[in-house]
Amino acid sequence: MSQATSRFALLGATVLSAAVLSSCGGGGGGDTAPATPLSTLGTLAVSMTDAPACGFDAVNVTVSKVRVHRSEAAAETDSGWTDITLNPAKKINLLNLTNGALEALGQTTLEAGRYSQLRLVLDANANGSANTVVPTAGKAEQPLDTPSGAQSGIKLVGSFDVSAGQKTDVVLDFDACKSVVTRGRGGYALKPVVKVVPAALNGISGFVSTALLGRSVQVTAQQNGQIVSATAPNPTTGEFVLSRLAPGNYDVVITAGDSAASVVAGVPVATTTSTTVLSTSAAPILLAPGNTGSIGGTVTMNPANTEAAYVSAKQSFVAGPTVTIRYQGADLLSGAYSIASLPVGAPQFAAYSSTLPLVFNASTAAPAGKYRVEAAAAGYVTKAVDGVDISVANRSNVNFALTR
């Protein structure tokens, strides 16, 4: 498995080189396509990045192929597919790909035009070693069960244009935290959550204090309480980069074990190539110390199916944003969930300013230890419980019944 290097070196590698690959067209039939004039051809290069995973030291997936098609409705056996085949298949630890780092998957030549579907094909987990996880706390590597669709291709719908004589770079953002869920005692399953994001490196950057490192620090960019991007800081320097963000305003939430959360509201990202700096190595962000608690319960779905349910703990500020502090997937079999390391103290709050360092204050607008807990699953109505209080004791009976 290749070792991810710095985000700048990898971005250069994406432009200048690619993994070993082969390209074929036409529904897997192997027929030779008619020659296409070079004047109508462009190049597609595909890379992968990731957000941090919750509760794992490694999340490994083995990528064998990337498939591309003009139609978002094309089935896997339809004609018109072009494949980027990794030979041999590449086993990638997704947790090496935070802070904007990329893993090149390859490139291929395509006719110029608009393409509307990508499929990420993973190796079958027949021997239990192709796709695996390493839970925290020193546990052994465990097989990661993958759905049959992962072998036929994880479908990604998102349009992009290939221009004649030019290279188009596409990045697949694999959200390991949402993609790995428990399934019964000691079992793990892959529920792939992957999105197509721009290749240009922009976003929000900064430093957290190195005193926080080793405490499961997570930094997220959010809009309307929904996490858009997440990362973990560099384990040596504390630098973080929330990369490839669409222009707009974001709320940045920083959490760590045994600490109060810090929230920076209204952080602007001006363009697809600009980066907004929140702190420097000389004046990094230091979270206030504080106790933590947990919220748990069960999520049931009617009708029952195999969709993954996610439970989030949120806090709101008067005349300010609502943000997600932490979230967790419910077990696929039992529906049980537990959101740990939730701060009991009030979050520290700062409105964004271009003048650094930012000034954080303990917020009285977001009640200490109180959360709005929401449960959601694709195709079901989101349910919420307000005012869940862990200031005195943990809560283990916050249950949800989701319906369509």
Residue 349 in any domain: the answer is: yes
* Cis peptide preceding 357, ω within 30 of 0: yes
CATH number of the domain encompassing residue 264 = 2.60.40.1120
The answer to whether the CB of 283 falls within 8 A of the CB of 360 is: no
The one-digit pLDDT tens for each residue of the chain (404 residues) are 444 444 333 333 333 233 333 333 433 434 444 555 656 899 999 999 887 767 888 999 999 999 999 999 999 999 999 999 999 999 999 988 888 889 999 999 999 999 999 999 999 887 778 999 998 867 788 999 988 778 788 988 788 999 999 999 999 998 888 899 998 877 899 988 888 887 888 999 999 999 999 888 999 999 999 999 999 999 899 999 999 999 999 999 999 999 999 999 999 999 999 999 999 999 999 999 999 999 999 999 999 988 899 999 999 988 789 999 999 999 999 999 999 999 999 899 999 999 999 999 876 667 789 999 999 999 999 999 999 999 999 999 999 999 99
Looking at residue 37, what is its pLDDT? 62
- Tell me how many domains the chain contains: 2
231, 378: one domain:
yes
Q: What is the rounded end-to-end Cα distance, in angstroms, of the chain?
A: 42
CA 62, 187, 182, 145 torsion: positive or negative?
A: positive
209, 141: one domain:
no
153, 224: one domain:
no
Tally the residues of the chain.
404
SS3 7: helix
Looking at residue 28, what is its pLDDT? 41
Residue 366 in any domain: the answer is: yes
Q: Which of 134, 166, 198 is the last residue of a domain?
A: 198
CA 242, 130, 144, 293 torsion: positive or negative?
A: negative
Residue 356 in any domain: the answer is: yes
Looking at residue 303, what is its pLDDT? 94
Residue 163 in any domain: the answer is: yes
315, 167: one domain:
no
88, 183: one domain:
yes
Residue 1 in any domain: the answer is: no
Residue 2 in any domain: the answer is: no
274, 344: one domain:
yes
The answer to whether the CB of 205 falls within 8 A of the CB of 240 is: yes
SS3 251: strand
275, 349: one domain:
yes
Q: Which of 198, 230, 261 is the last residue of a domain?
A: 198
261, 117: one domain:
no
256, 330: one domain:
yes
The distance of Cα 159 from the centroid of its chain, to the nearest Å, equals 20
98, 187: one domain:
yes
- The phi, psi pair for 238, rounded to 5°, reads 85, 5
Residue 138 in any domain: the answer is: yes
Residue 371 in any domain: the answer is: yes
Looking at residue 128, what is its pLDDT? 77
273, 286: one domain:
yes
The stretches of 51-194 forming alpha helices (DSSP H) are 148-152, 176-179
Residue range of the domain that includes 54: 7-198
SS3 77: coil
**Farthest-apart Cα atoms in the chain, separation:** 72
Looking at residue 271, what is its pLDDT? 94
222, 151: one domain:
no
Q: Which of 198, 231, 247 is the last residue of a domain?
A: 198
Looking at residue 135, what is its pLDDT? 87
